[in-house]
Chains A and B, each alone.
Chain A
Amino acid sequence: MTDTALRSKPNLDTASRPRTSKREGGRSRSAQLALNVLERTWLIVVVFTVWWAVSAGSSNVFIPSLESILVSLGRDLSNGVIASGATYSLTNLAAGLLIAVAVGIIVGLILGETKRLREIVDPVIHFFRSVPQAALVPLIIGAFGIGQGPKIYTIAFACMWPVLLNTIDGVLGVEPTIRKFSKVYRIPRGLHFRKVVLPAALPQIVAGVRVALPIGITVMVVSELFAANKGLGFYILNSSATFMVPETWAGALLVGVIGYILSLLFVVLERRILSWYFKSGAK
């Protein structure tokens, strides 16, 4: 009797779980996808159409028609002015984010695991993260110079806080039973960090990076408004200073589009890294 129960139960389980989910996904996948895309894009289309219509033939210098904005954008995209600026800016963003994520995760894991250290450092963290990051840009650039390095540091500094705080939160949220398990089975410290604490905190960490991304984009632009001769921020500043208003708008619009694309890419990445988390229904 025990034997049959032993064997029949697993079978029942395999039968019910993965297969149904596959079937659901298979039949209507393409239709579902089309619907999703439509659902996400219709509002943007409406906004742009209205913008186009309302701004057409605008005589206000500071609010040019969408048409003239797009024409400037198209021209500067094709002649490479924007491309070189965007490459510079996005390199800074990538480097800054990378530093922020690395430092945020490592420091967050350490602080999350050591209560005493956390209590000491906590006020400092909350002080620094409350300081408006954009306001620090001139200071950092003033202190460290006008090169690419200070811009990257500024982005890293601003992006680190959400990653750091979320990592600490994630570490504190590790299931107590799993901590007990790790202790009783004498999992060595390094392995405990890499295979227990880090994956357990990862959903929170990823959420922190998601918050950091738009902060990074903002600071990226702001950092190029000071002492820069390259980049998307410089493009915006320069065109504004020379009364090329459509270009200013075009630059801002482009930054928005880049932000949107990056957040889409981030969702794809998130689904990848946290597939167990989404599939397990923990979320």
Chain B
Amino acid sequence: MAIQAPPEEVQVATKPLLQVQGLTMSYGVSDSENKILNDLNLEVNDGEFVSIVGPSGVGKTTLLRCLSGLIQPKSGTVSVGGEVINGPHRDLAVVFQDYSRSLMPWMTTLENVAFPLQGRGVGKKERNEAAEKNLAAVGLAGQGHKYPWEMSGGMQQRVAIARALAYNARVLLMDEPFASVDAQTRFDLEDLVIDLQSTLGVTIILVTHDIDEALYLADKVIVLAEKPATVVDLIETGFGDHRDQVETKADPRFVEARARILHRLRDH
């Protein structure tokens, strides 16, 4: 346990923004029951960047679907801002893994980004302005007239991120968001997300199977393993706001944390 101890909690009094208590999830019934998640507990504070890392098939996506309200857990609760959710919630936005499938090809990128706001009853002018602003925030200023299929994969994922930002939720859930882009684009997108997080102060929970990515992005890494999945480790990275793809990944703390996670995953 050589990893830096969490900096002595000063904000002990503040309630976590997102709280998961005793979350258990299984598919099927009684004897053929397949338990995926077992008594999971998580806390994510306002403005925090948390990655959830674990091997493929451990139940990360199931966890995220519970968090986003897409499925109801067998037992346990997910609450946002102290309110227990029982379905999709206004303060939870999701960036899906499949950018090419989550954007609607019959809408321009601007319409795609503005659409959830339309669903909330925001007027046309206002929602288009919000969409423009968020497209600019992800580096796609003035590209709103294009259709998603006129864009590269990386750009499409930027649009998906802009859409989530425009929704103005307090928590952004990202499900393996960079799994299907090439390495260089992936680094660009990672840095973009770090930038956005520090400038906009949005709370992010990102699910990934990539240990490096989990460590590089997050303030806190939650390691899931075993079957059914439980939290086997929790690491505070402590890299602060400034991160660099080369420097940070060579940082001794980074290397040590990676080794620790690898051990954890291997032991289970």
- A-side residues, CB < 8 A to B, are 2, 5-7, 9-10, 13, 17-18, 175-178, 180-181, 183-188, 191, 195-196, 199-200, 202, 276-277, 279-282
Contacts and interface: CB of A to CB of B under 8 A. Distances in A.
A171 to B, nearest CB: 15
Contact of A180 (B70, B118, B185): B70
A181 B119 CA distance: 12
Interface in B100-135: 101-102, 104-107, 115-116, 118-120
Contacts of B94: 180-181, 184-185
Interface of B: 68-70, 88, 90, 92-94, 96, 98, 101-102, 104-107, 115-116, 118-120, 139-140, 143, 147, 149-152, 154-155, 167, 184-185, 187-188, 191-192, 195
Choose among B106, B155, B188 the residue with the greatest number of A CB atoms under 10 Å from its CB: B106
23 contacts: A2-B187, A2-B191, A5-B184, A6-B139, A6-B192, A9-B185, A10-B151, A13-B150, A13-B155, A177-B96, A177-B102, A178-B101, A184-B94, A185-B88, A186-B88, A187-B116, A191-B118, A195-B118, A196-B104, A199-B106, A202-B106, A276-B106, A282-B149
A103 to B, nearest CB: 23
B200 to A, nearest CB: 17
B93 A2 contact: no
Nearest to B108: A276
Nearest to A276: B106
Contacts of B184: 5
Given A10-B151, A276-B105, A280-B147, 14 more contacts: A5-B184, A9-B154, A9-B155, A13-B151, A18-B150, A180-B102, A181-B102, A185-B88, A186-B90, A187-B119, A196-B104, A276-B106, A280-B105, A282-B149
A184 B120 CA distance: 12
Contacts of A277: 105-106
Given A9-B155, A13-B151, A184-B68, A177 B98 contact: yes
The 9 tightest CB contacts between A and B, nearest first, are A280-B149, A185-B116, A6-B139, A177-B101, A187-B119, A199-B106, A2-B191, A177-B102, A184-B94
Contacts of B192: 2, 6
Contacts of B120: 186
A101 to B, nearest CB: 19
A186 B102 contact: no
Given A13-B152, A177-B96, A187 B115 contact: yes
Contacts of B139: 6-7, 10
A6 B141 CA distance: 11
A183 to B, nearest CB: 6
A236 B7 CA distance: 92
Choose among B90, B93, B102 the residue with the greatest number of A CB atoms under 10 Å from its CB: B102
Contacts of B98: 177
A80 B53 CA distance: 78
Contact of A281 (B69, B149, B152): B149
Contacts of B96: 177, 180-181
Contacts of B191: 2
A187 B93 CA distance: 12
A183 B116 contact: no
A282 to B, nearest CB: 7
B69 A184 contact: yes
Given A10-B140, A196-B104, A17 B92 contact: no
A196 to B, nearest CB: 7
B92 to A, nearest CB: 7
Contact of B150 (A17, A178, A191): A17
Contacts of B155: 9-10, 13
B101 A186 contact: no
Contacts of A280: 105, 147, 149
B130 to A, nearest CB: 14
B119 A185 contact: yes
A177 B65 CA distance: 12
Given A6-B192, A13-B152, A188 B101 contact: no
B232 to A, nearest CB: 28
B188 A183 contact: no
Nearest to A5: B188
B90 to A, nearest CB: 7
B101 A175 contact: yes
A280 B103 CA distance: 13
Contact of B188 (A2, A176, A178, A279): A2
